[in-house]
Chains A and B, each alone.
Chain A
Amino acid sequence: MMCDIERRKQVEGESTDSAIDVRGLRVTYADGTTAVDGIDMTVRKGEFFGYLGPNGAGKTTTIKVLATLLTPSDGEVRVNGFNVRTDSRNVRKSIGYMAQETVVDPELTVEENVRFACETYGVPRDERGRRISTLLSLVDLADVADKPADKLSGGMQKRLDAATALVHEPPVVFLDEPTTGLDPEGRDRLWDYFQRINDQGTTIVLTTQYLEEADKLCDRLVLVQDGSVIVKGSPNDLKGRGGDEILDVELTGDQSARRRAAEIARDLGPFNSNAIEETDNGISVTGNSVREHGTMLLVTLDEAGISVVGFDIRKPTLDDVFLAVTGEGLA
């Protein structure tokens, strides 16, 4: 049976491939600050989509527009085919939203929190029991179902928050920096959880400052800075754009040793056209011949009395790509 959303899209003559369509989105706050300045993007159904950027880039503002918590100043935004301006209630029926801060009702138990979410979204009464037990198992909270939410650890509260955002099995879920503040184990568990629901067909839009997270989870991503999209593509595409391999050389000594090492690298024939940078603990050389001629550099540094304590040849990460594009890292 055709669902409401698909029927609506066909009536409106839209492609049913896109879960989110954003055209010329602009958001200017009442104090005159423009947080989002002309963003265009499309998120395809079933995609795990990353929306990245440094603090103040406009990520949360954009997510709030998509979740109908903010009205755009300009532009057209459709979620699941519904216009966020004119059809906001239908948008809200068809999305899950997990805010940046962990949001649970501290006075209710774990199960009561999920039950309240079921009731909020009108999950049919005879479905609720199954839905609650499935979700609590999925987020590994079944054993603490009767515990008050304020007695849970931060990671458990975050998982409970995630479960409450998904009780109605929405086709689109917005995750606004969902793993900020979690320990590595808690982060891994949430990643696994998000991956599983995405595998089941849920479209996920993720904002994050952790590029490792975006690299691991996202099919496609955009990088926003100062309210505008500056890079878009799949993580592999973007890393490919980073181009050549990177040789990281770790040195002992102070800044003068690093400066000398950089000068030596620049004077060496194979590296003189490469990007050479001083890092916190050594130098970094990016180029197409670092694997071939890296040993030569290490030997030359040693002969010059500069002590090398370690080295690594690696492919560019998203961090390198974004550093090159924005001139600064995300975190």
Chain B
Amino acid sequence: MTDELSGNSFGGDVVVNTKRWGLKAIRNPFVLAVSLIQPLVFLVLFLTVFGNVAGTAVNDTIPGISYESFLLPAIIMQVALASAVSSGVGLVNDIETGMFEKILASPMRPSAMLLGKIIADFARIVVQIAIVVVIGLLLGTQIKTGTLGILGVVGVGVVFSGWYLAFSNALAVLTEDQESTTLVANLLQLPLLFLSSSFLPVNALPEWIRPVALVNPVTYGVDVARSIILGRNVVSDLPLANSPLEALLILFVFDFLFAVAGIFFLLTRTRSDVQ
């Protein structure tokens, strides 16, 4: 009986949850496909509609870069954002179906439950970004740093997604409502992308947008990925970072801050609402 009452170690709890969410992602490939559709539509439309015009502005700032190569990092960040939204929706589903409470009534640690889910979400995001990178390569993107560069770009996408994963899960816990979570998280996606260096270099953006772009995590993610693709430092004139490595560190800081906030909200939710 002692063994039967032992529960799992923290690591064991994490593995159990990673497995569950991984299995759910495999069972429901629709979620994986849906968060790819909009970014891929953007990729094709932007290349077709703005490719020639924007290519000039881009080349003025970053000489020698094709618009395909310039755009791919933005699409990767867009995939990361869209995929992170579905992470929060998954948690809301668990809250709505009662699975969340059922797990809370078990010996599983809430923080391990969240961590296991996030790891499974990261795995899903890796697959989605890899698909986008392959499509980008087929459409003419050149990754000058080769295979390592491809891995690096995928890695940056995953690091970038961390803060939005935490944000969408915190939204899920706060709203406990699928529509509200989807609405808010989706609503923020496009402003985040357009108020950043995603589609045009920061210098080519309207003046009022520039200060926003310089503190926008999307700019940090896009600039690091772009630097990896080109094999040289093309990080915008950011107040907090001058190199890809510094920009990457800032992304980790964003992840950390949002993760702390997410865990805070989760733990608040798991405590009672009694006096």
Taking a contact as CB atoms under 8 Å apart, the answer to whether B4 and A108 are in contact is: no
Residue from the set A32, A73, A103 with the largest chain B CB neighbour count within 10 Å: A103
Taking a contact as CB atoms under 8 Å apart, the answer to whether B20 and A92 are in contact is: no
A158 CA to B157 CA, complexed, in Å: 41
Residues in A neighbouring B107, C-beta threshold 8 A = 89, 92-93, 120-122
The closest CB in chain A to the CB of B109 belongs to A89
A104 CA to B99 CA, complexed, in Å: 7
Taking a contact as CB atoms under 8 Å apart, the answer to whether A71 and B103 are in contact is: no
Taking a contact as CB atoms under 8 Å apart, the answer to whether B7 and A121 are in contact is: yes
Taking the complex as formed, is A101 at the interface, i.e. its CB lies under 8 A from any CB of chain B?
yes
Taking the complex as formed, is A10 at the interface, i.e. its CB lies under 8 A from any CB of chain B?
no
A220 CA to B19 CA, complexed, in Å: 42
Within the complex, what minimum Cβ distance (angstroms) separates A78 from chain B? Answer: 16
User: Given A92-B106, A107-B27, A124-B3: A69 and B101 within 8 A (CB)?
Assistant: yes
A1 CA to B99 CA, complexed, in Å: 34
Taking a contact as CB atoms under 8 Å apart, the answer to whether A93 and B7 are in contact is: yes
Residues in B neighbouring A104, C-beta threshold 8 A = 97
1/0 per residue, CB under 8 A from B, across A140-154: the answer is 000000001000000
Residues in B neighbouring A102, C-beta threshold 8 A = 98
A97 CA to B102 CA, complexed, in Å: 7
Taking the complex as formed, is B24 at the interface, i.e. its CB lies under 8 A from any CB of chain A?
yes
List CB contacts (< 8 Å) of A30-73 with chain B: 30, 32, 67-73
Residues in B neighbouring A103, C-beta threshold 8 A = 97-99, 101-102
- Number of A-B residue pairs having CB atoms within 8 Å of each other in the complex: 106
Q: Tell me which of B16, B97, B275 contacts A116 (CB under 8 A).
A: B16
Residues in B neighbouring A107, C-beta threshold 8 A = 23-24, 27-28
Count chain A residues whose beta carbon lies closer than 8 angstroms to a beta carbon of B: 44
User: Given A5-B5, A93-B6, A122-B7: A29 and B28 within 8 A (CB)?
Assistant: no
Taking the complex as formed, is B2 at the interface, i.e. its CB lies under 8 A from any CB of chain A?
yes
Taking the complex as formed, is B188 at the interface, i.e. its CB lies under 8 A from any CB of chain A?
no
The closest CB in chain B to the CB of A89 belongs to B107
Q: Tell me which of B5, B8, B104 contacts A4 (CB under 8 A).
A: B5
Residues in B neighbouring A97, C-beta threshold 8 A = 102, 105-106
Residues in B neighbouring A108, C-beta threshold 8 A = 20, 23-24, 27
Taking the complex as formed, is B187 at the interface, i.e. its CB lies under 8 A from any CB of chain A?
no
Residues in B neighbouring A124, C-beta threshold 8 A = 3-4
Taking a contact as CB atoms under 8 Å apart, the answer to whether B103 and A29 are in contact is: no
A104 CA to B97 CA, complexed, in Å: 8
Taking a contact as CB atoms under 8 Å apart, the answer to whether A70 and B3 are in contact is: no
Taking a contact as CB atoms under 8 Å apart, the answer to whether A67 and B19 are in contact is: no
Q: Tell me which of A72, A92, A148, A164 contacts B274 (CB under 8 A).
A: A72
1/0 per residue, CB under 8 A from B, across A108-133: the answer is 10001000100111111000000000
Taking the complex as formed, is A105 at the interface, i.e. its CB lies under 8 A from any CB of chain B?
yes
Residues in B neighbouring A90, C-beta threshold 8 A = 5
Taking the complex as formed, is B108 at the interface, i.e. its CB lies under 8 A from any CB of chain A?
yes
A27 CA to B273 CA, complexed, in Å: 10
Residues in B neighbouring A72, C-beta threshold 8 A = 274
List 19 contacting pairs A-B, 8 Å CB cutoff, sorted by A: A1-B1, A4-B2, A5-B1, A5-B5, A29-B273, A30-B275, A90-B5, A92-B105, A97-B102, A105-B20, A105-B97, A108-B20, A119-B8, A119-B19, A120-B106, A121-B106, A122-B6, A122-B107, A124-B4
Instruction: State the B residues within 8 Å of A (CB).
Output: 1-8, 12, 16, 19-20, 23-24, 27-28, 97-99, 101-108, 271-275
